Amino acid sequence: MSGKLTVSSELGQGTTFTLTIRFDLPQEQADIDRSTTAIGPSELLSLQFQPANILLVEDNPTNQQVARELLESTGLTVTIASDGLKAIDAVKHEHFDLVLMDVQMPRMDGYQATAVIRSDDRFKELPIIAMTAHALFSDQEKCLEAGMNDHVGKPVEPGASTRP
Protein backbone atom coordinates (compact mmCIF):
# COMPACT_ATOMS: atom_id res chain seq x y z
CA MET A 1 0.00 0.00 0.00
CA SER A 2 3.10 2.23 -0.06
CA GLY A 3 2.08 3.63 3.30
CA LYS A 4 3.70 6.17 5.53
CA LEU A 5 3.09 6.83 9.22
CA THR A 6 4.22 10.22 10.54
CA VAL A 7 3.75 12.17 13.74
CA SER A 8 4.40 15.87 14.18
CA SER A 9 3.89 18.03 17.23
CA GLU A 10 4.27 21.66 18.15
CA LEU A 11 4.39 22.66 21.81
CA GLY A 12 1.12 24.31 22.77
CA GLN A 13 -0.38 23.71 19.32
CA GLY A 14 -1.16 19.98 19.39
CA THR A 15 -0.16 16.86 17.53
CA THR A 16 -0.93 15.60 14.05
CA PHE A 17 -0.78 11.86 13.47
CA THR A 18 -0.92 11.07 9.73
CA LEU A 19 -1.38 7.70 8.09
CA THR A 20 -0.99 7.90 4.30
CA ILE A 21 -1.90 4.90 2.19
CA ARG A 22 -1.62 4.67 -1.59
CA PHE A 23 -4.28 2.59 -3.29
CA ASP A 24 -3.13 1.06 -6.58
CA LEU A 25 -6.20 -0.70 -7.94
CA PRO A 26 -6.58 -2.62 -11.18
CA GLN A 27 -8.35 -0.39 -13.73
CA GLU A 28 -11.57 -2.44 -13.74
CA GLN A 29 -11.76 -2.34 -9.92
CA ALA A 30 -10.90 1.37 -9.89
CA ASP A 31 -13.83 2.08 -12.20
CA ILE A 32 -16.19 0.26 -9.81
CA ASP A 33 -14.71 1.93 -6.74
CA ARG A 34 -14.95 5.42 -8.27
CA SER A 35 -18.71 5.04 -8.43
CA THR A 36 -18.96 4.45 -4.68
CA THR A 37 -16.07 6.41 -3.21
CA ALA A 38 -13.85 9.38 -3.93
CA ILE A 39 -10.70 7.25 -3.77
CA GLY A 40 -9.40 5.90 -7.06
CA PRO A 41 -6.12 4.42 -8.31
CA SER A 42 -2.91 6.00 -7.06
CA GLU A 43 -4.77 8.58 -4.98
CA LEU A 44 -3.76 9.12 -1.37
CA LEU A 45 -5.86 8.66 1.72
CA SER A 46 -4.63 10.60 4.75
CA LEU A 47 -6.12 10.24 8.21
CA GLN A 48 -5.26 12.90 10.76
CA PHE A 49 -5.94 12.72 14.47
CA GLN A 50 -5.42 15.71 16.76
CA PRO A 51 -5.08 14.82 19.62
CA ALA A 52 -4.90 11.04 19.32
CA ASN A 53 -5.42 8.24 21.78
CA ILE A 54 -3.18 5.30 20.81
CA LEU A 55 -3.33 1.70 21.98
CA LEU A 56 0.15 0.19 21.91
CA VAL A 57 -0.02 -3.61 22.00
CA GLU A 58 3.45 -4.88 22.84
CA ASP A 59 4.70 -7.57 25.22
CA ASN A 60 8.34 -6.50 25.50
CA PRO A 61 8.88 -3.96 28.34
CA THR A 62 11.82 -2.28 26.59
CA ASN A 63 9.84 -1.89 23.35
CA GLN A 64 6.89 -0.59 25.38
CA GLN A 65 9.06 2.09 26.97
CA VAL A 66 10.73 3.19 23.73
CA ALA A 67 7.45 3.35 21.79
CA ARG A 68 5.61 5.10 24.63
CA GLU A 69 8.33 7.75 24.97
CA LEU A 70 8.44 8.32 21.22
CA LEU A 71 4.66 8.67 20.93
CA GLU A 72 4.16 10.70 24.10
CA SER A 73 6.98 13.07 23.11
CA THR A 74 4.72 14.21 20.27
CA GLY A 75 1.76 14.79 22.60
CA LEU A 76 -0.10 11.55 21.90
CA THR A 77 -1.89 9.68 24.67
CA VAL A 78 -0.68 6.07 24.93
CA THR A 79 -2.30 3.08 26.60
CA ILE A 80 -0.33 -0.18 26.70
CA ALA A 81 -1.70 -3.70 26.42
CA SER A 82 0.86 -6.49 26.87
CA ASP A 83 -0.94 -9.14 24.80
CA GLY A 84 -3.82 -9.66 22.40
CA LEU A 85 -6.39 -10.53 25.06
CA LYS A 86 -5.67 -7.30 26.93
CA ALA A 87 -5.84 -5.38 23.64
CA ILE A 88 -9.33 -6.74 22.91
CA ASP A 89 -10.49 -5.77 26.40
CA ALA A 90 -8.99 -2.28 26.07
CA VAL A 91 -10.59 -1.65 22.66
CA LYS A 92 -14.00 -2.69 24.01
CA HIS A 93 -13.79 -0.35 27.01
CA GLU A 94 -11.93 2.73 25.75
CA HIS A 95 -11.91 4.86 22.61
CA PHE A 96 -8.75 4.65 20.51
CA ASP A 97 -7.90 6.52 17.32
CA LEU A 98 -5.24 3.97 16.35
CA VAL A 99 -3.91 0.57 17.45
CA LEU A 100 -0.22 -0.26 17.02
CA MET A 101 -0.21 -4.07 17.18
CA ASP A 102 2.80 -6.32 17.76
CA VAL A 103 2.21 -9.62 15.98
CA GLN A 104 4.17 -12.06 18.18
CA MET A 105 2.95 -12.11 21.78
CA PRO A 106 2.13 -14.72 24.41
CA ARG A 107 -1.47 -15.84 25.14
CA MET A 108 -2.88 -14.29 21.95
CA ASP A 109 -0.85 -12.90 19.05
CA GLY A 110 -1.60 -9.77 17.04
CA TYR A 111 -3.13 -11.66 14.12
CA GLN A 112 -5.67 -13.37 16.36
CA ALA A 113 -6.41 -10.19 18.33
CA THR A 114 -6.97 -8.23 15.12
CA ALA A 115 -9.39 -10.88 13.84
CA VAL A 116 -11.42 -10.68 17.07
CA ILE A 117 -11.43 -6.86 17.02
CA ARG A 118 -12.48 -6.80 13.35
CA SER A 119 -15.31 -9.29 14.05
CA ASP A 120 -17.06 -6.52 16.03
CA ASP A 121 -18.72 -4.09 13.61
CA ARG A 122 -17.92 -1.17 15.94
CA PHE A 123 -14.23 -1.58 15.09
CA LYS A 124 -14.34 -2.21 11.33
CA GLU A 125 -12.86 1.24 10.64
CA LEU A 126 -10.40 1.39 13.56
CA PRO A 127 -6.90 1.74 12.07
CA ILE A 128 -4.69 -1.17 13.19
CA ILE A 129 -1.03 -1.00 12.21
CA ALA A 130 1.21 -4.04 12.65
CA MET A 131 4.52 -3.44 14.40
CA THR A 132 6.92 -6.30 13.81
CA ALA A 133 10.52 -7.09 13.05
CA HIS A 134 9.29 -9.42 10.30
CA ALA A 135 9.84 -7.33 7.18
CA LEU A 136 9.38 -9.83 4.35
CA PHE A 137 6.66 -9.06 1.82
CA SER A 138 4.88 -12.29 2.85
CA ASP A 139 4.85 -11.07 6.48
CA GLN A 140 3.35 -7.77 5.39
CA GLU A 141 0.71 -9.60 3.35
CA LYS A 142 -0.14 -11.78 6.36
CA CYS A 143 -0.74 -8.61 8.40
CA LEU A 144 -3.07 -7.21 5.74
CA GLU A 145 -4.92 -10.54 5.43
CA ALA A 146 -5.44 -10.56 9.20
CA GLY A 147 -7.28 -7.24 8.91
CA MET A 148 -4.51 -4.81 9.74
CA ASN A 149 -4.33 -1.62 7.70
CA ASP A 150 -0.57 -1.48 7.28
CA HIS A 151 2.79 -2.64 8.59
CA VAL A 152 5.56 -0.76 10.38
CA GLY A 153 8.88 -2.55 10.78
CA LYS A 154 10.81 -2.64 14.04
CA PRO A 155 12.78 -0.83 15.05
CA VAL A 156 10.49 2.11 14.35
CA GLU A 157 12.23 5.04 12.70
CA PRO A 158 10.22 8.27 13.10
CA GLY A 159 9.27 9.80 9.76
CA ALA A 160 10.45 6.79 7.75
CA SER A 161 8.20 5.25 5.11
CA THR A 162 6.70 1.87 6.02
CA ARG A 163 7.59 0.50 2.58
CA PRO A 164 10.17 1.42 -0.05
- Entry pTM: 0.65
Q: Which fold has domain 51-157?
A: Rossmann fold (3.40.50)
pLDDT tens digits for 137-159? 767 777 778 888 887 766 655 55
The residue length of the chain stands at: 164
pLDDT tens digits for 108-127? 988 999 999 999 999 998 99
Rounded distance, CA 164 to CA 153, Å? Answer: 12
Q: Quick check: helix, strand or coil at residue 81?
A: strand
Contacts 24+ apart (CB under 8 A), 122-125: 123/91
pLDDT at 84 over 50: yes
DSSP state of 156: P
Rounded distance, CA 144 to CA 160, Å? Answer: 20
CA torsion through residues 155, 158, 163, 164, sign: negative
- pLDDT tier at 91, thresholds 50, 70, 90: very high
pLDDT tens digits for 18-42? 666 555 544 444 443 333 333 343 3
- Encoded amino acid at 52, one letter: A
